Chains A and B, each alone.
Chain A
Amino acid sequence: GNSVTQMEGPVTLSEEAFLTINCTYTATGYPSLFWYVQYPGEGLQLLLKATKADDKGSNKGFEATYRKETTSFHLEKGSVQVSDSAVYFCALGAGGFKTIFGAGTRLFVKA
């Protein structure tokens, strides 16, 4: 079946450090891939998405590339800020109604 695996947190970085949060997936067919972010006390919001292989999603300095050969969709940011502290969820949309969410990775950024 379809599944998403993302790296366990928490991830703790200093401001301006480089961020990578790994995400791999298993799926039949050609899923869409998403990164959602959840700030403290809020619901999830879409950060970026990619709908086919080799697509790169980007938003607010974050990027992720849909790699079919490695079944990965790693999230990266070149220079994190304190305001990026949140929980990040990798997700897969494989048709029908269901989106499969990863377990979430908590990011702490220290000033």
Chain B
Amino acid sequence: EADIYQTPRYLVIGTGKKITLECSQTMGHDKMYWYQQDPGMELHLIHYSYGVNSTEKGDLSSESTVSRIRTEHFPLTLESARPSHTSQYLCASSDRNEGQRETQYFGPGTRLLVL
């Protein structure tokens, strides 16, 4: 069973607000990821991290930023939310020691609505 948590599960905010989506995992995984997904649709990788102090942008351009100060924590921040940011955000982690066999473990997601 995956031990990866995301908060909040749902968030409705106004345009221009700063928000941080939290993601934590208790599995000691080095690799973590953020995906953007319209519900039930294709996943788009927006950020990833190989480990502490390592962050990279993914395939889909995003106005969000991430940080990785601790292994277990990988928060995503939007400095100024816009309606185009309305989506579902999925956090995932994987263990690099599995090599190519690595399974990704997903959190339950945060569904964001920007008014």
Contact = CB atoms under 8 A, between A and B. Distances in A.
Interface of A: 30-32, 34, 36, 38, 40-46, 49, 51, 87, 89, 93-95, 97-99, 101-104, 106
Given A32-B100, A94-B100, A97-B48, A45 B42 contact: no
Contacts of B2: 45
Nearest to B106: A43
A104 B101 CA distance: 21
A47 to B, nearest CB: 11
A17 B110 CA distance: 34
A67 B115 CA distance: 47
B47 to A, nearest CB: 11
B101 A101 contact: no
Contact of A42 (B43, B92, B102, B109): B109
Interface string B35-67: 000001111010010100000000000000000
Given A49-B101, A97-B94, 19 more contacts: A31-B100, A36-B104, A36-B106, A38-B40, A42-B108, A43-B6, A43-B90, A43-B107, A44-B43, A45-B2, A46-B103, A46-B104, A93-B100, A93-B101, A97-B96, A98-B45, A99-B94, A104-B40, A104-B43
Contacts of A102: 42
A89 B31 contact: no
Given A43-B107, A44-B90, A44-B106, A101 B43 contact: yes
Contacts of A49: 101, 103
Contact of B40 (A98, A99, A106): A106
A48 B104 CA distance: 12
A95 B100 contact: yes
A19 B73 CA distance: 39
19 contacts: A31-B100, A32-B100, A36-B104, A38-B40, A40-B40, A43-B6, A44-B43, A44-B92, A45-B2, A49-B101, A94-B100, A95-B99, A97-B31, A97-B96, A98-B48, A99-B94, A101-B43, A104-B41, A104-B43
